[in-house]
Each structure stands twice: as structure tokens, then as C-alpha cells.
Amino acid sequence: MAMASEIGVAGEPMTAAAKLPASRDSSWRRIYARVFAGDPLGLAGVVILAVLLLVAAFGPLLATHDPILTTPDTLLPPSGAHWFGTDDFGRDVFSRTLVSLRIDFIVASVGVTGAILIGSLIGLVCGYRGGWLDDTLMRFVDIIQSFPLILVAMVLVLAIGPSVGSIVIVTVLINIPLYARVIRGQTLAVKHLDYVDAARCSGATELGIMFRHVLPNTLNPIAIHASLNLAAAVGNVAVLSFLGIGIRPPTPDLGVMVAEGTKFLVQGAWWMSICPGLILCTTIFSLNLLGDALESGLDPRRQDR
């Protein structure tokens, strides 16, 4: 081509760039460096969370006893045989804690994932289309947000009965507003950028523009919100179970265990509440540490720290 000779000058910076590995690997390493370098607390959060997730995944295999088998050995304090002691039915508290971690993680993460999917979709449509659709959907989101969590949970549990499913639905519902608002705001900022107009000129349909050009560029803040939100969701599941409107006994659940244990606190059987309670605290704490690390690491305004 006639232009090739001219291009020589422009080609120089390009060949320099060609030496950079453009693989996914390097971008993960970059994220790691940005988020966790010089942030030992964030790193600690990730490590603790990883351990807890492994425990949740392999809980039943690691359990030293059958978590729902009742035995005559009731209310034994922590010992070599029962690390977290036993409860009023003689069940091993350690084994029950391991198993409950899994269900609590699943309920919280399915709930948060559902909220991200539905909330993002609402936010995207509202931000992109605007007008009456935006007004209507966002008022609906306001209404959800104005109800207290416990009230929504109680109404739902009355309507569809207490089950793992209803807890998931409650978790989805109460977290929709967060994601709807975040994505709506991002969409409003992104939809007027030049590349969106360029895509329109390239003949993209409105749906194509929304899902290929706008949505992928609004998702950055989701990682931060999701990890903090997951912490809150784990707590909420426990709170609902504690109040008896969540996961029902005999299914092992951290909130249920803490609740049942309180009845025996006065008798001095502290381990029934405190042991699963500490695990619950550690879970929420590690998620919060991760969220904080992501927030300060991924926020472009704080990159210069």
C-alpha cells in the first residue's frame, strides 16, 4: 500500500507495545498488585475467606461427627472429642458449624447474585431509556427500599412459608435497589460517550448497544459493592434465622445455632452460641476486609495511594 512508508513513524510506539504480554494473566496480576499490595488487612481478609470457603465446600467431609445425629452426650464443653462442645441434643457443635457455613454462603451468594442480575437489568433499562419507564421502575425500587428488612421477610415467610427459598427471595429483593441505583448511575454516564455513538453509527441495534457497549462498561463498581453486600447478606440470613423466620431447625445454620444457644447461656453452656457466633463474625469480617481492599484498590480516584 502506498501509505506504508509514511506509517513507519507511527509504527514505532506500536512495536514497543507489542512486547507487552496482552494475556489475561497480566491483567489479574495488575489487579492483584493494585488491590492488595501494601494492604495486609485486605490480603488477610482474602486468606481467611478462602479458608472459610474451602470449609464450606468440603464441610461435610471435614465434620468429625454427624451434624444432625442426637446423642446422650448433651451440653458437653469443648474438648478433644468435641472441639466446639455439644448442644442440648448432644449434637457436635463443630460439625454443625461446618455444615451451616455452606448453606449460609449459598443462600447469601445466590441471593446477592440474583440481586445483581435483576438490579443491574433494572438499572440499565432505567438509565438507558429514561422517561416514564425510568420513573416507574425507580419508584418501585424506592418502595422496596422503604420497607424494613424484617417486615419484608415476615410478610414473605407468611406468604410462602419459611424455607431456604424464601430467604433467598428476601435477600434478592432487599438488595435489588443497591444494584439498580449503581448501574443506573453508571449507565447515565456511559450512554453519552463517543464509542456508544460510534457503535450506533456502526449499525448496532438498541439492544446491542445496551448489552455490548453500555452494560460491560458499567460493571466496575459491582465487585466492590458485591463483597460488602455479601457480608451484609450473610449477616441478614443469620439474623432472620435467629428470629425464627429464616432457615428452620433441624437444618444447621449459624443464626439458628446462635439463637438456640442463647437459651443455655445462663446455664454456663457458652460454647453453643459463642463458637458459631465467632465463625459468623469472622466470615462477615473477612468479606468486609476484602470489600474495603477492593474499594480502595479499584477506585480510580484513589489509585495514587
Partner 1 sequence: MNSPALSVRNLLRLFRNAAEPEAMPVGVRNVSLEIATGEVVGLIGESGCGKTTLGRCIVGLERPDSGEVVVGGTDFTALSGRDRRAFRRNVQVVFQKPETSLNPRMTVARFVGEALANFDVVPRGARRARLEMLAGLVGLNADALERYPHQLSGGERQRVAIMRALASEPQVIVLDEPTSALDVSVQAQVLRTLKALQAEVGTAMLFISHDVAVVRYVASRVLVMYLGVIVEEGPADAVFTAPSHPYTRALLAAAPRLKPSGDEAPPMHGELDLRAARSGECPVRPRCPLAHDRCREAPPMADLGDGHRAACWLADDLNKQSSEPTYREKTAS
Please report, as ranges, the residues that interact with partner 1 according to CB under 8 A. Answer: 1-4, 6-7, 9-11, 13-15, 17-18, 20, 22, 193-195, 197-205, 208, 212-213, 216-217
Residue 11 or residue 165: which is nearer to partner 1 going by CB? Answer: 11
Answer left, alpha or beta for residue 70, where phi above 0 means left and psi between -120 and 50 means alpha.
beta
Paired with 92 in beta bridges are: 86
CA distance 30 to 32: 5
CA nearest neighbour of 171 among 10, 179, 53? 179
3-state secondary structure of 19: coil
Residue pointed to by grid coordinates 496482552: 22
Contacts of 293 (CB under 8 A, 6+ apart): 35, 36, 39, 41, 42, 43, 45, 46
For the bound state, the minimum distance from the C-beta of residue 194 to partner 1, rounded and expressed in Å, comes to 4
List the Cα angle 196/24/18 in 5-degree steps.
80
Paired with 86 in beta bridges are: 92
For the bound state, the minimum distance from the C-beta of residue 212 to partner 1, rounded and expressed in Å, comes to 8
For the bound state, the minimum distance from the C-beta of residue 3 to partner 1, rounded and expressed in Å, comes to 5
Residue 4 or residue 61: which is nearer to partner 1 going by CB? Answer: 4
CA distance 164 to 184: 30
Residue 215 or residue 230: which is nearer to partner 1 going by CB? Answer: 215
For the bound state, the minimum distance from the C-beta of residue 231 to partner 1, rounded and expressed in Å, comes to 28
Residue 201 or residue 266: which is nearer to partner 1 going by CB? Answer: 201
For the bound state, the minimum distance from the C-beta of residue 205 to partner 1, rounded and expressed in Å, comes to 7
Residue 214 or residue 290: which is nearer to partner 1 going by CB? Answer: 214
For the bound state, the minimum distance from the C-beta of residue 42 to partner 1, rounded and expressed in Å, comes to 24
CA distance 183 to 118: 11
3-state secondary structure of 280: helix
Residue 185 or residue 208: which is nearer to partner 1 going by CB? Answer: 208
